[in-house]
Amino acid sequence: MKRASVPLSRKKRIKYLDQPQLEALFRVAKARPLRDRLLVTLLYRYGMRVSEALALRTEDVNLRRGEIRVVGLKGGAERVYAIGRDILPLLRKYRATGPFLFASREAESLSRTQAWNLVVGMMREAGIPAGYGPHSLRHSLGVHMLDAGLQLEHVKDALRHASIRSTEIYAELSPGARAEYTRRMEHSGAIVKVGR
């Protein structure tokens, strides 16, 4: 059965940051308040939508067990992830001021607009062009996971997709994944080589 290709209009909507752009963003975030730095970090590392990050409650982070619980807002998929060793010190240092992990001075939780402005402001300061926003961090994780050699099923799980079809777009965007399977083909005895 022939696999349907992803429409060009959908490909155009996927905007992700490469590794140098993300490193520049994290350098900018490091100079910001811990809450803002943590927001950018969690959006990227757990592929969260802004609404998912803002819905995080303090009890969703279990420092003793080193776990974070993320509830997907599309389809309600709930996942528990190990907290990365590089993120754990940030969470230990951070003190949430209410029931939600990300609060503002005015409310229990940051608004979507506040969060969007924070992230986009840091992106502009990092030299990332207009047109990128918080959702670009989610797309970045999908591409970078494949660049790291992880399987499409792992990306599906990390992004809490209901269907693998939603995840397949990242395979088309990952030059690292393409280079890796090309290298494996070159070194595999299962692939017939062209004679010299």
How many degrees, rounded to 5, is the angle at CA 15 between CA 70 and CA 60? 10
Assess whether 135 carries a catalytic annotation. yes
Most confident of 39-48, 71-80, 172-181: 39-48
Respond yes or no: is residue 27 known to be catalytic.
no
Is the pLDDT confidence value at 14 over 60?
yes
Token pair 């067990």 is found at: 65
Residue 73 has a pLDDT of 76
For residue 196, indicate whether it is catalytic. no
Q: Give the pLDDT confidence score for residue 105 in this predicted structure.
A: 76
C-alpha 26/C-alpha 193 separation (Å) is: 44
**Mean pLDDT of the region 183-189:** 67
Residue 17 has pLDDT above 90, yes or no: yes
Instruction: Write down all domains in the chain, each with its CATH number in brackets.
Output: 14-187 (1.10.443.10)
Active site residue 79: no
- In the residue annotation, 35 being an active-site residue is answered as no
> What local confidence, expressed as pLDDT, does residue 97 receive?
80
pLDDT in tens, 116-174: 999 999 999 999 999 999 999 999 998 888 888 888 888 888 888 778 777 787 877 76
Non-local (6+) Cβ contacts of 60 within 8 A are 68, 69, 70, 71, 101
State the catalytic residue, choosing from 139, 156, 160, 161. 161
Q: pLDDT digit string (tens) for 78-114?
A: 888 999 889 999 999 998 888 999 987 777 888 999 9
For the stretch 18-41, pLDDT in tens is 999 999 999 999 999 999 999 999
Q: Is the dihedral of CA 49, 43, 166, 7 positive or negative?
A: positive
For residue 138, indicate whether it is catalytic: yes
pLDDT (0 to 100) of residue 185: 61
pLDDT band at 188 (very low <50, low <70, confident <90, very high): low
Question: Catalytic one among 37, 138, 139, 156?
Answer: 138
Q: What one-character DSSP code corresponds to residue 129? A: P
